[in-house]
């Protein structure tokens, strides 16, 4: 399903309103503003962070604090801007004291993120840090192991490149992490300009195909000669 820009915006506005009214987890009791996400509804790239911090909670916008400023600078370094991407989070409400998201909160909020990906239909989803990477890859491997190598996943009904990246907040704390993040982000333009993501063949289908091929009668040597 590919939506027109207008339909996409209408559906995102409906989803935005649903998120504003959301009471699916206790975080709605302590948040100031739900943070839906922001950017270009037709973006080719979605960045997914962890959860709103204090400033995001006050303004109702994602990545508006120091980590967001760094993300903007790093994007400019590869000739891109925040305006041309979409930025969202795993959680739409701030966890008190910026503690880690809890499994029940992630579970309650995940339909919103998957619906955002389904509606926006990006080519690349950049996951920032462990929580977004584990949720969207469906793999418990930590960010230090998987960062920088694009994976292909089917998300929201279509194939995307998932590019796991260090979280900019970690980059603010450690200069070496910042340089790694800068280097990994530099692969993004290539993913946008190159061939589209092709989903890996499901393993069971590949095994079945191999078994079928092994069971099929083999042409004899004479027949093979016919086709050079």
Residues of this chain that bind ligand URA (CB under 6 A) = 49-53, 56, 62-63, 65, 67-68, 89, 169
CB of 124 to ligand URA, least distance (A): 18
Positive or negative, the CA dihedral 155, 157, 158, 159 is positive
CA nearest neighbour of 142 among 114, 167, 161: 167
CB of 161 to ligand URA, least distance (A): 20
CB of 135 to ligand URA, least distance (A): 12
Q: Which residues contact 183 (CB under 8 A, 6 or more apart)?
A: 148
Q: Which is nearer to ligand URA, 63 or 112 (CB)?
A: 63
Positive or negative, the CA dihedral 141, 142, 144, 149 is positive
Residue by residue, DSSP assigns 23-82 as -SSGGGGT-SS----EE-TT-SEEEEES---HHHHHHT-SS-SHHHHHHHHHHHHTT--G
Q: Which is nearer to ligand URA, 158 or 182 (CB)?
A: 182
Helix (H) or strand (E) holding 5: helix 5-20
Q: Which is nearer to ligand URA, 36 or 161 (CB)?
A: 36
CB of 71 to ligand URA, least distance (A): 9
Q: Which is nearer to ligand URA, 49 or 122 (CB)?
A: 49
Q: Which is nearer to ligand URA, 87 or 108 (CB)?
A: 87
Place of tokens 């915006």: 9
Q: Which is nearer to ligand URA, 130 or 151 (CB)?
A: 130
CB of 88 to ligand URA, least distance (A): 8
Closest residue to ligand URA, judged by C-beta, is 49
CB of 210 to ligand URA, least distance (A): 43
- Asked whether 43 and 83 are in contact (CB, 8 A), the reply is no
- Cα dist from 113 to 73, 78, 109, 165, 217, whole Å: 25, 26, 7, 18, 49
């Amino acid at each position: 399903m590919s939506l027109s820009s207008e339909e996409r915006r209408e559906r995102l506005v409906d989803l935005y309103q649903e998120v504003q009214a959301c009471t699916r987890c206790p975080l709605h009791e302590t948040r100031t503003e739900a943070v839906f996400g922001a950017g270009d509804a037709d973006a080719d790239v979605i960045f997914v962070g962890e959860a709103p911090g204090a400033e995001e909670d006050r303004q109702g916008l994602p990545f508006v604090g120091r980590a967001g400023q760094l993300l903007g600078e790093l994007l400019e370094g590869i000739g891109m801007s925040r305006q041309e991407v979409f930025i969202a989070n795993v959680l739409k409400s701030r966890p008190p004291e910026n503690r880690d998201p809890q499994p029940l909160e992630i579970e309650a909020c995940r339909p919103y993120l998957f619906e955002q990906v389904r509606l926006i239909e990006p080519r690349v989803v950049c996951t920032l840090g462990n929580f977004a990477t584990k949720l969207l890859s469906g793999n418990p491997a930590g960010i230090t192991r998987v960062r920088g190598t694009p994976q292909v996943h089917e998300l929201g009904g279509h194939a995307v490149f998932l590019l796991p990246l260090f979280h900019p907040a970690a980059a603010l704390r450690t200069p070496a992490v910042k340089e790694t993040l800068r280097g990994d982000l530099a692969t993004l333009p290539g993913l946008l300009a190159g061939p589209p993501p092709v989903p890996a063949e499901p393993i069971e289908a590949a095994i079945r195909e191999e078994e079928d091929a092994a069971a099929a009668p083999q042409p004899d040597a004479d027949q093979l000669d016919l086709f050079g």
